[in-house]
Amino acid sequence: MTAAVGESWRASLALHWSLTETRSTLVGNRHEGPLRVQKPFYPEGGVAHAVVLHPPGGIAGGDDLAIDIRVDPGAHALHTTPGATKWYKADGRPARQAIQATVGDGGVLEWLPQENIVFDRAQATLSTSVDLSPGAVFLGWDVVCLGRRASGEHFSQGTLRLDGLVTRAGRPLWAERALLAADDLLIASPLGLAGGRVFATVVAAGRIVPPDVLDACRAVPTSEPDRSGTSVIDDLLVARWIGASSSAARAWCEALWQCLRPAVCGREACPPRVWAT
């Protein structure tokens, strides 16, 4: 049974979405420890909007969170979080959040969390793995802020590991691993973050993005000295943003999502209402 170990949490959440009649229904919801999901909303008919909750409000050293999402054929589920995920200083103990998802033929998974704020001296690992069946679609993003910039705190000690993987029937479409130490030269290098302490990645997989939609994504404005770029290979799109403001990063992600969602998911953008609170 999952429980607190000392002052650390081992928690898990397993969600199973299935198409029942005309809407995507949560037919499986298993949780242990401090991970929950709110009752789904249906602001656009059959698409389920779900808010994933972590009641402690942050991830401390030693915490290990696992989220498993299954989307059955034809179902469509959008997931977000009620606020930023805070990664506290580790005191020598690594912390991890692992997301693993499978999407059935014709299913759609959207993973649109609010930003990750990595505190000074954190040792954080963010892992996301998505396996798509033929005809399935994934649209997701991650925003990371190194240090609490609003409080004047810099990420001067600590590490951040990022693992991202999207596969189709087990075959890799996109795989990326990054390990950033606070003193890593890559943070300041123009070949890396170029001094930007906030960065974002948007991934769309499973459907070819039309040229006009790609042009619209590339035309989403950024303010100097922020930088962005978008690449497409077959039915995989990866877009990146680097800058200094988490709110600017979120705005850029949302703008791309509004461009991509009709083409990739077959739905006009319908922002979750929790984003407005």
Token pair 């791309």 is at which residue? 256
Is pLDDT of 4 > 60? no
pLDDT band at 180 (very low <50, low <70, confident <90, very high): very high
Give pLDDT, residue 223: 87
- For the segment 108-142, what is each residue's pLDDT rounded down to a tens digit? 999 999 999 999 999 999 999 999 999 999 999 99
- Asked if residues 37 and 29 have their Cβ atoms less than 8 Å apart, the reply is yes
Query: What is the mean pLDDT of the segment spanning 46-63?
Result: 94
- For the segment 75-94, what is each residue's pLDDT rounded down to a tens digit? 999 999 999 999 999 988 99
Is pLDDT of 157 > 90? yes
pLDDT band at 5 (very low <50, low <70, confident <90, very high): very low
Cβ density class 40-49: b for 16+ within 10 Å, e for less = beeeeebbbb
- pLDDT over 90 percentage in the chain: 86
Angle at 156 between CA 144 and CA 161, to 5 degrees: 45
Is pLDDT of 161 > 80? yes
C-alpha 14, offset from chain centre: 17
- What are the structure tokens assigned to 34, written together? 């401090």
pLDDT band at 200 (very low <50, low <70, confident <90, very high): very high
Query: What is the mean pLDDT of the segment spanning 215-241?
Result: 95
Q: Long-range CB contacts (< 8 A, 24+ apart) of 22-31?
A: 22/46, 23/47, 23/48, 24/48, 24/71, 24/75, 24/76, 24/77, 25/75, 26/50, 28/70
- Asked if residues 216 and 237 have their Cβ atoms less than 8 Å apart, the reply is no
pTM: 0.95
As a whole number, the mean pLDDT across the chain is: 94
